[in-house]
A = this chain, B = another copy of it.
Amino acid sequence: MSLIVMKFGGSSVGDAERMKRVANRVVERQREGNKCVVVVSAMGDTTDDLIDLSKQICTITPPAREMDMLLSTGEQVSVALLSMAIQSLGQPAVSFTGWQAGMYTEAVHGKARISDIQPDRILKALEQGNVVIVAGFQGMTEEGEITTLGRGGSDTTAVALAAAVQADVCEIFTDVDGIYSTDPRIVKCARKLPEITYDEMLELANLGAAVLHPRAVEYAKNYNVPLVVRSSFNHNEGTNVKEEAAMEQGIVVRGIASDKNVARISILGVEEKVGQLAKVFTALAKEQIDVDIIVQSGVMNGLADFSFTVSLSDKERALEVIQGIRDEVGFREVSSQENLVKVSIVGAGMVSTPGVAAKMFEAISDLGLSINMVSTSEIKTSCVIDNSRLNEVIQALHTAYGLDTDSQAFVGGPAERR
């Protein structure tokens, strides 16, 4: 007998029919002889509807505490209904809100981190033969305030619960049937990965493959929780996310990701003095602006050029910050560029295989494109390029690294329901 945590997102429980389908899925798993804890999100558009309602009523920035009171009802509705659906199938079930499930968080509203889990009620209810249904995305502070975990929070709830109850596996049900080598909507011959490491998944998650929230993957890695990503619409094998993952013969790159939310800022003709870079990035950090890739070109006549990337929405603020320290730093000019994309190849084996990055540069050059910036880590290489021919680039890299497959990707439920 296994103890399984199953997580279903908002689109998997988007209406009464889907809710019933999830109930069937859970009961099936329970009747195979497992104990099941189910984490669900709010139904379909519920969260957005509640936000709309608050906008009609609230003429100030919505107080974060009250937004948490408001939004946490969405998951509470889901767990109650799923419990009814499961009980309708003759299977005892009990639903818990975040606070009932013992999910304690920091005293931060809108994006709290889990600080502690006291799963006594969950364990007791499991022992009594119940399927236990827990509201995702929410918790409670020590002072009894309701909090939410922010976007992707239900994934984190599921993984953290799996760690707390020492589940054998945490299954994340979504509208794709696993993690793919790249976005199957872009590359038709994308391959589903049987396995992937936490670190690789983290890179892919951070790079915009939105299937799993990065915080949840981090949690899984820290507590060594085995994850499976699979479809809530079929019974295909999913993708196992774990500490070590086998590589197919001859393949060294696991996946290819891209991120269009990127702008480049270049500071040209910077006077060469000690601590110049530090001044710039300290000033940006003070304004909560995250900097990703940083490239410094060679020094000429005592003047250096350097460039870095920020997210698109931070671009204007970043330019203001830099103008604000012009006198202190001393530079000729600052420029910026949009219409860029960061393309990354990810694979845990890259570090021990020479020539992996070179092949990437070659594939991009063969398309007649120039590479603006490059960054590398042990398990990934990223290139910033013009975004006009992104799909061609991804397809070319996918082929170059031998990832193309013949089988058809499964994406989403019946088309008319999406």
Contact = CB atoms under 8 A, between A and B. Distances in A.
Interface of A: 16, 19-20, 50, 53-54, 56-60, 62-63, 65-67, 69-70, 72-73, 76-77, 79-81, 83-85, 87-88, 94-95, 97, 100, 121, 144, 146
Q: What 9 pairs across the A-B complex have the smallest Cβ distances?
A: A69-B80, A70-B80, A58-B84, A16-B56, A73-B73, A59-B88, A66-B80, A66-B83, A73-B76
A27 to B, nearest CB: 13
Contact of A95 (B58, B66, B95): B66
Contacts of A60: 84, 87-88
A85 B57 contact: yes
Contact of A84 (B63, B76, B77, B144): B63
Contacts of A77: 50, 53, 70, 73
A69 B99 CA distance: 13
A95 B69 contact: yes
Contacts of A19: 57
Contact of A69 (B57, B67, B72, B83): B83
A223 B62 CA distance: 38
A24 to B, nearest CB: 12
Contacts of A66: 80-81, 83-84, 87, 95
A81 B63 contact: no
Nearest to A60: B88
A62 B88 CA distance: 9
B83 A63 contact: yes
Given A19-B57, A69-B80, 5 more contacts: A57-B81, A60-B84, A66-B81, A97-B146, A121-B144
A343 B418 CA distance: 57
28 contacts: A16-B53, A20-B57, A53-B77, A54-B81, A54-B84, A57-B81, A57-B85, A58-B88, A60-B87, A60-B88, A63-B83, A63-B84, A63-B87, A66-B80, A66-B83, A66-B87, A66-B95, A67-B80, A69-B83, A70-B76, A70-B77, A70-B80, A70-B81, A70-B84, A72-B76, A73-B77, A97-B146, A100-B146
A16 B16 CA distance: 27
A57 to B, nearest CB: 5
A91 to B, nearest CB: 11
